[in-house]
Structure 1
Amino acid sequence: MTFSVIIPVFNRTQTLKTAIESVLAQSFRDFEIIVVDDGSDKSVSSALRPYMPMIRYIRIEKNMGVSYARNIGIREAKGLYTAFLDSDDIWLPDKLSAQHEALTATKLKVCHTNEFWFRKDRFINQGAKHKRHGGMIFDKVLDFCRISPSSVVIHRDVFKTCGVFDSNMRTCEDYDLWLRICSKFEVCYLPEKHIIKRAVTNDQLSDSIKNIEYIRLVSLARFVKCKNIKPTLKVPAIKEISRKALITAGGINNF
């Protein structure tokens, strides 16, 4: 098995079907789909009934959060690489094929791509500050999350080195993991847009959490305290801690 595609879901059926179908439509066919139901009501299992022969369905009886759900998927994954897909996003048909080709050519273990943004009823342009990068990009991911979970593919060995998502975090859990990964691994970036990142409902968790910059600050400060962090990484990290501390002290949210 090359790819394990992990789709966490909590009470979201409106977009879940199209997310799954966008995986089934991939030109690269060597994958499994793991849907992790994070304590949803019966609507999710009912919506998934036609897809059950084509997916692995894992149900968590109590809602534990997206980090916990993704980690369950990582634990159960059989693939060499793990790919994540949020239940409200869509992959374009050559997403896995392009990443498999890039990872094979570069011998790297992490790959992410560019993306389209769809908000409510239209596509919107990304701002310059959301520019993405490849290479040794630790200093580029300090300000906020620049790798979308739905775009990334990660070799199983990376989790052995860097750990998985922090299940105690209800938001910024991806930012927290990218800090650890980008401090140790070179990242492959494909500038082509291979996913559609959608926000068609009002239940996106990161939009409902106040003081999100403070959560990033806590995550970064915790990272800097790690004993095995390279000294060369501490300087930019501490500089960003100072910047975030000024932002949170000034009461600016979602900066």
Structure 2
Amino acid sequence: MGNARVTYSVIIPTYNREPLLVEALRSVHGARPDFCEVIVVNDGTAFEPSTRDLIETLGVVFVQTKGGLGAGAARNIGAEHARGQWLLFLDDDDLIAAGYWQAVTGYIDTHLQSTDLAYGFCRASIQSDRSVMQQIAAAPAAFHIQPQEDNSLRPKIAGLGLGFWVSKALYHRVGGLNAELRTNEDTDFCLKLLSAGARCHNTKSHGAVIFQGDHGTAAASSTTKRYGPGQRARYFKHILDSQAEILATDSNAQAWLWKRYLKMAARAGGLEGYQTLRQAAGLTAGRKRLLAAYWAVWRVLAQLERR
């Protein structure tokens, strides 16, 4: 971008998935809006010369971490380096649809100010075939973005791979992502945004293409799969505790998150999930009974899997 005005910053954290990152960068190059910079935060090993050359050719801002900090921390580092007033996120194994970011930035330019407490996301096509992903991303599509007026929390919680965008002012206001959460940091982040009074904007169109196929080596595997159920249960419990106030405003969203916690706790074994549920405040007796039954079913399924 040189000395040109930068309004938008695309942030891509990456960890040992160079071939997939290269595809993501080419996707970005064909979809980037005006006044936009692209920031790659490498949290893994050093890139091959060909990848470094591509980054230089595309004018991408490159940041190297000390390694192994996690996607949340890498995104925070990207936000620290961002010159734009709006942050646009993409995962290194996903693709962005042509025209989506142009639609987002056009909407922002028309309806929002950089100081607005605003964020948004889109729907995504989930694929396991990389060639199909590229075809979907390149296909022309229309995107209609609008404020999410529903009072419930669930429709306003989304993964950062879903064409997620947020004002940098809001990102810093809530302290960014919780780097201690190696999974489900996006759920925690959305709840923090909503607690800060943010307004959610979304589109029902598919603006991102998410990869759920074979990532190859263990180092390049899905982040979620690298962490066991016990650790994931602890992350969910942290979210339940730290976001208790906002969750108390929506019993359905609260129960949804409890179910995610209890499923992981049951798969981890032991009675900790059930005991935590019994001691929990803010849940009705009826809700506790239903959640206890849910935990019991998952405990039986986990025991059968271990046989």
Shorter-chain TM-score bucket reads 0.7 to 0.9
What's the counterpart of residue 122 of structure 2?
113
- 1:157-189 superposed Cα distances (whole Å, 9 cap, x missing partner): 112322211111211111111111133211101
Higher share in helix: 2
Amino acid paired to 2:54:
P
1:194 equivalent in alignment to 2:207? yes
**Could you tell me whether the CA contact under 8 Å between 2:122 and 2:162 is conserved in 1?**
no
**Could you tell me whether the CA contact under 8 Å between 1:224 and 1:234 is conserved in 2?**
no
Counterpart pick for 1:180 among 187, 192, 195: 192
Cα gap change, 1:221/1:20 in structure 2, threshold over 3 Å: closer, same or farther?
Answer: same
Of stretches 49-58 and 241-250 in structure 1, the one that deviates more from structure 2 is 241-250
Matches within 5 A, 1:147-166: 147-166=159-178
Matches within 5 A, 1:39-188: 39-43=44-48, 46-53=50-57, 54-107=59-112, 109-120=118-129, 134-135=148-149, 139-140=153-154, 146-183=158-195, 184-188=197-201
Of stretches 216-225 and 66-75 in structure 1, the one that deviates more from structure 2 is 216-225
- Secondary structure at the aligned position of 1:28 is classed as coil
Cα gap change, 1:235/1:82 in structure 2, threshold over 3 Å: closer, same or farther?
Answer: same
Matches within 5 A, 1:9-20: 9-20=14-25
**2-structure distance, mates of 1:57, 1:176:** 27
**1-structure distance, mates of 2:93, 2:203:** 22
Amino acid paired to 1:179:
L
Note the aligned Cα RMSD (angstroms): 3.0
Q: Pick the structure with greater CA Rg.
A: 2
Shift of 1:95: 1.4
Amino acid paired to 1:75:
E
Q: Percent identity?
A: 18
- 1:45-93 superposed Cα distances (whole Å, 9 cap, x missing partner): 6413232141111111332111111110001100010011111111112
Counterpart pick for 1:25 among 27, 30, 54: 30
- Secondary structure at the aligned position of 1:93 is classed as coil
- Secondary structure at the aligned position of 1:190 is classed as strand
What are the ranges of 5 or more consecutive residues in structure 2 without an aligned counterpart?
1-5, 134-146, 268-297, 300-307
Higher share in strand: 1
**2-structure distance, mates of 1:140, 1:206:** 20
What's the counterpart of residue 240 of structure 2?
221
Cα gap change, 1:18/1:63 in structure 2, threshold over 3 Å: closer, same or farther?
Answer: same
**Could you tell me whether the CA contact under 8 Å between 1:5 and 1:82 is conserved in 2?**
yes
What's the counterpart of residue 11 of structure 2?
6
- Secondary structure at the aligned position of 1:167 is classed as coil
Cα gap change, 1:248/1:137 in structure 2, threshold over 3 Å: closer, same or farther?
Answer: farther
**1-structure distance, mates of 2:172, 2:206:** 29
- Secondary structure at the aligned position of 1:58 is classed as strand
What are the ranges of 5 or more consecutive residues in structure 1 without an aligned counterpart?
125-132
Q: TM-score w.r.t. structure 2 length?
A: 0.68
Shift of 1:222: 2.4
**Could you tell me whether the CA contact under 8 Å between 1:116 and 1:123 is conserved in 2?**
no
